[in-house]
Structure 1
Amino acid sequence: MNMKLLGSSLIIAGTALGAGMLAIPMVLAQFGLLWGTLLMLLIWVGTTYAALLLLEASIKSGGGLGMNSIARKTLGKGGQLVTNGLLYALLVCLLMAYIIGAGDLLKKLTDGLGIELSATQAQIAFTVVAGFVVAAGTGVIDRLNRLLFAAMVIMLAMTLVTLVPGINPDNLASVGSDNKVALIKTSSVLFTSFGFMVVIPSLVTYNPEATQKQLRNMVIAGSVIPLFCYLFWLYAAVGNLSPEQLVGFANVSELIAALSVNHGSMQLILSIFTGLALLTSFLGVAMALFDQNADAFRQNRAVTYVLTFILPMLGAILAANQFLSVLSYAGIILVFLAIFVPMAMTVKVRKDGDKATVTEGNEAVYQAGGGVMALALSFLFGCFLLMAELI
């Protein structure tokens, strides 16, 4: 087994598995598990295909490149400027949200240990320490992420083992709302939960010896893991609580408290899971921004470290208690960056020549399947998501 490729798939999965996972039952439960599952599968297919388009553009641009260089080679200077603007806006928003969330968790942890830290001090401490891990390189992130992801899977498994025996079939079959417009609005939450594409250029750089088929499988495996985690969590939570209860919760803390009524250990388990999910997401997103800055500015690691973390940290300090608001801005940016930009890159590299017939050694240059029809469907998928964000 290629441990680097396995670790890369886990980085993709860890980037996707943010703390927003816990909110999925609250937004989907009222529409019934059938429609909730179908919508989640639709979002997964659309985002995974768009990620494969980005993989194709990365490979055909020469590999070992950040989004900055890929955009310059495929879309020209104008496209490079737009892509960089979208990417920086997205990554900074996400890092701000993760620093806010992680700082809050760190403050609660230190308070429990008798160490008093202000919210600002906790955010700075987390950013500085986690930033050193990111600056150490993708290899260090890979090894640490494997341990964190293993711990996160253990926490999720403990959650499922605790909740599954208490599943009520009546809750699973309940449908609280037939409002399909409201269902479509939940697409924005689900789409953000699969927002892993930003790490693909970094992982292509990290795996120069991998075949193109292995890189494709890396992306698919990395996207399948969060899909199953989301579905298992959705079914377990919905089975233990009625749709009316789930819809009535104002935040994730209330959901955790309700599940903990009959299961005393649940609050600790889900709190640990939330912390791990925030950390793995932070590492993936920060890695993408660090590599983007290294590609764009060509500075040493110390300068790149400052460029990567100073703006998100200042933004987090100024936007304290705005975790969900910051994530909502990131969702709209992500639609353009994760769907339309990879599509434009792929159309350009395919237009420049019939790359599917070119070979490198004995291996055909990778091309995402589906042809023009798949590209058209991907465009419609992006329009659907944009509508869901703005509806």
Structure 2
Amino acid sequence: MKKLILSICLVAGTSIGAGMIALPMALCKIGILPTIVLILGVWFFMYLSSLIGAEINLRAGHGLPLGKLGSLYSGPIASSIGTVSLILLIYALLCAYLYGGASILQSFFASHLEWSLELKGIVLIYTLLLAIVLAAPVGSVLEVNRVLFGSLLIFFALLVLGLLYKVDSTHLPLVEKLSLQLDSWTGAIPLLSTSFGFQVVLHTLTNFCDRDPVLLKRSIFWGSLIPTIVYILWTISTLGVLYHFAPLEYQQLLVGKLEVGQFIQALAQTASWPLVQMLAAVISIVAIVKSSVGIGLALSDAWQEQFGKLNAKRQNTLKMVSVVLTLIPPLGMALFVPQLFLKALRFGGMVSIVIAILLPLWLITRPKAQERKVFYALTQRQDIQMLCLGFGILVILCEVINIIIN
């Protein structure tokens, strides 16, 4: 039971993070009822695709990163696609988190400390602080991330309870007129797929579950269902409160003129309880920092692995170079691309589809995979594979439309 709980926490903790903040900003255009249906639909497809990912790990006999699975089942091209896709995804997320974190801090400083600071200056300071954390020993970084995740869950529970208490169930934006517009859906679907990004830890989860297919399947199901419930409650509570108590900000949200920091600030101002006002700001900051530290560490370690093992005297230099390579590209984007938060998350959703669906589907059909023992018969069904493929293509088409429109 303890291993199951820890496994569920690993899946849920990987999904719940800064991307959650963006969901109401993208989903407001379609309304609450379509939002609930869409979140459940995306969860269903991401759950099915994660079983395929778990299957190829089980058949390998050991949990392996996607790049190594590509090399095992297909060859160097598949291996390169897996590795490059993962790096692109993390860069996209870091772009979003640096920009979003700076925006939230800017609004927080202006509201609570009456400090008027430039967004670019906050981006630079935030990036520097993140670099210092990532340069610390891995054990210390993991401990910081664990504390942040525990704090996030507590703050989120208190905040949602406070917001739901204020929500008038008879006065909710159930369906918006904008739901009839194509771009309302193309903007929401890729971002939602990013929010179920736990597939990157499937190899770790496989090993942690001792390659037990029953335990692994249960961990994935419950670990992905928890974020689904969290996202629905978060979206209903935030949109319901803004719709009723801050109609001007809600209209700005509908037309995409509200930055992430302004969204959190508007949310805090609607709450009459000082505790809830503070929680709205704190939870967003903690979520951004937690996600930044987690994926920043993953990419920094990936760069170190790419460089190869060096002697002990050069390990510190190698770590610093890896941190610089991790943060400089997203820093440049955060400094010079306006309204980057949602743009980067949507792009990350498109890239995550390669990692979560397209490449695993390709690998499971390779002869080397077909020769091995089948653990989940469901993953062998062609209709299931075609459903996942269709969803993956849909997400990519949505982001292509977003890029064309914008």
CA spacing shift, 1:234–1:337, aligned 2, 3 Å: same
Q: Residues 96 and 256 (structure 1 numbering): CA distance in 2 closer, same or farther, change over 3 Å?
A: closer
- Give, in whole Å, the separation in 2 of the partners of 1:302 and 1:349: 43
> Paired residue for 1:338?
356
Unaligned runs of 5+ in 2: 402-406
Question: Compared with structure 1, are the counterparts of its residues 225 and 373 closer, same or farther at alpha carbon in structure 2 (3 Å cutoff)?
Answer: same
1:10 deviates by 2.6
CA 1:291–1:51 in 2, change beyond 3 Å: closer, same or farther?
farther
State the partner residue of 1:360: none
Deviation, structure 1 residue 368? 5.0
Q: 3-state SS of the aligned residue for 2:171? A: helix
Q: Distance in 2 between matches of 1:225 and 1:86?
A: 26
1:214 alignment partner in structure 2: 215
Q: Which consecutive residues of structure 1, in runs of 5 or more, have no partner in the other structure?
A: 357-364
| Separation of aligned partners in 1, 2:151 and 2:145 | 10
Alignment partner for residue 299 of structure 1, among 290, 309, 319? 309
What's the CA shift for 1:218? 2.2
- Structure 1: how far apart are the matches of 2:49 and 2:358? 8
Distance across 2 between alignment mates of 1:118 and 1:237: 26
Q: How big is the shift at 1:386? A: 1.4
Confirm or deny that 1:378 pairs with 2:388. Answer: yes
CA separation in 2, counterparts of 1:170 and 1:352?
54
* In 1, Cα distance between equivalents of 2:162 and 2:327: 37
Report the AA paired with residue 147 of structure 1: V
Normalising by structure 1, we get a TM-score of: 0.82
Q: State the SS of the aligned residue for 1:254.
A: helix
Residue 108 of structure 1, CA deviation: 8.4
**Which residue in the other structure is 1:353 paired with?**
371
Q: How does 1:25-36 map to 2 (within 5 A)?
A: 25-36=24-35
TM-score, normalised relative to structure 2: 0.80
Cα 1:21–1:81 shift into 2, 3 Å: same
Equivalent position amino acid for 1:216 in 2:
K
Counterparts in 2 of 1:222-233, with a 5 A limit?
A: 222-233=223-234
Give the Å deviation of 1:263.
Answer: 1.5
- Distance in 1 between the 2:321 and 2:230 partners? 34
For the residues of structure 1 that align with 2:299 and 2:307, how far apart are their CA atoms? Answer: 12
1:128 maps to what in 2?
132
1:127 and 1:234 map into 2 onto residues whose CA distance is 32
Flag the 1:93–1:174 CA change in 2: closer, same or farther, 3 A: closer
Q: In 2 relative to 1, CA 377–26 (structure 1 residues): closer, same or farther, beyond 3 Å?
A: same
Give the distance between the partners of 1:59 and 1:338, measured in 2 at CA: 16
Length, aligned pairs only: 376
> Cα 1:313–1:173, aligned 2, differ >3 Å: closer, same or farther?
closer
8 Å CA contact 1:28–1:36 kept in 2: the answer is yes
1:199 to 201, 219, 228: 201
Who is 1:166 aligned against?
166
Q: 1:195 deviation in Å?
A: 2.1
1:188 alignment partner AA: P
The 10-residue stretch of structure 1 (120-129 or 323-332) with the greater mean CA deviation from structure 2? 323-332
Q: Distance in 2 between matches of 1:58 and 1:294?
A: 24
Q: Distance in 2 between matches of 1:263 and 1:270?
A: 9
| 2:70 maps to 1:52 | no
Deviations 1:160-204 (A, max 9, x none): 222222222333364221405244212122122222222222333
- TM-superposed deviation, 1:54: 1.3
Deviation at 1:131, TM superposition (A): 4.8
CA distance in 2, matches of 1:31, 1:109: 29
Contact 1:99 1:316 in 2 (8 A): yes
Query: Is the CA contact 1:15–1:283 (under 8 Å) kept in the aligned structure 2?
Result: no
Distance change (3 Å), C-alpha of 1:36 and 1:16: same
Could you give the per-residue CA deviations for residues 80-133 of structure 1, whole angstroms, max 9, x where no partner exists?
A: 12222222222222234334444666788899699x986424312222314536
Structure 1 range deviating more: 147-156 or 31-40: 147-156
Rate the CA distance shift 1:295–1:374 in 2: closer, same or farther, 3 A: farther
Counterpart of 1:320 in 2: which secondary structure?
helix
Aligned equivalents of 2:215 and 2:305: distance in 1?
24
Which residue identity does 1:211 align to in structure 2?
D
- RMSD of the TM alignment (CA)? 3.3
